[in-house]
């Protein structure tokens, strides 16, 4: 009788983690499930996993999801990033902004790191508290009010700011008092 060791490779643990992340898993998460780099490489060769980018893999037969590109970038950020600015405007459906790049805010302490920034990503560095974030499609994004504050500070098009303010009020995501108190507020 074979006893399952806690460090023995567990495909069910891989699947469980990946299922919560749109079918994606990081090298570190795989290693925590008992998968060494050679074993990951073996599963790539066998067609069970696809290497998406450095340190990120996808379960080959996992159904495609809506925000896969965002999930991959969030995993690249070691799950520390929060989608923000115009990307969050779009995800909250607060304006007609169609950003040409993904906007991702990393912790302020990361500003000194030398990162290989993925193509099509604009980074910001700031600490985003738990109350200033929400989740959409398996990834964290800044709350509607924080999104508006960030966009104002980044001098996003006044047209998008105006539309976002109107949407926040109309949908009850912010009060008139909250919007008035944030005038000129920036991070």
**pLDDT tens-digit profile of 26-49?**
999 999 999 999 999 999 999 999
Pairing of strands 24-26, 56-59: antiparallel
Q: Contact at 8 Å (CB) between 82 and 143?
A: no
Q: Contact at 8 Å (CB) between 138 and 25?
A: no
CA 109 to chain centre: 18
The residue extents of the domains of the chain are 11-59, 68-181
Provide the 8-state DSSP code for 110: G
- For residue 128, what are the contacts with CB-CB under 8 A and spacing of at least 6? 82, 84, 105, 142, 146
**CA gyration radius, the chain:** 19
**pLDDT tens-digit profile of 121-176?**
999 999 999 999 999 988 999 999 999 999 999 999 999 999 999 999 999 999 89
Confidence class of residue 6 from pLDDT cuts 50, 70 and 90?
A: low
Distance CA 145, CA 150 (A): 9
Taking residues 90-119, what's their average pLDDT?
A: 93
């Amino acid at each position: 009788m074979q006893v399952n060791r806690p460090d023995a490779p567990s495909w069910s643990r891989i699947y469980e983690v990946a299922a919560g992340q749109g079918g994606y898993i990081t090298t570190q998460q795989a290693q925590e499930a008992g998968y060494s780099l050679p074993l990951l490489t073996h599963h790539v060769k066998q067609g069970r996993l696809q290497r998406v980018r450095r340190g990120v893999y996808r379960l080959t037969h996992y159904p495609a999801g809506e925000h896969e590109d965002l999930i991959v970038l969030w995993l690249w950020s070691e799950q520390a990033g929060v989608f923000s600015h115009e990307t969050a405007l779009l995800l909250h459906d607060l304006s007609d902004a169609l950003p040409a790049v993904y906007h991702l805010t990393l912790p302020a302490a990361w500003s000194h790191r030398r990162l290989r920034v993925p193509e099509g990503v604009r980074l910001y560095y700031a600490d985003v508290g738990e109350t200033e974030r929400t989740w959409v499609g398996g990834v964290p994004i800044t709350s509607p009010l924080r999104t508006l504050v960030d966009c104002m500070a980044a001098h996003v098009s006044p047209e998008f700011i105006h539309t976002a303010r109107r949407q926040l009020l109309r949908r009850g995501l912010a009060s008139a008092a909250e919007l008035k108190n944030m005038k000129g507020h920036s991070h």
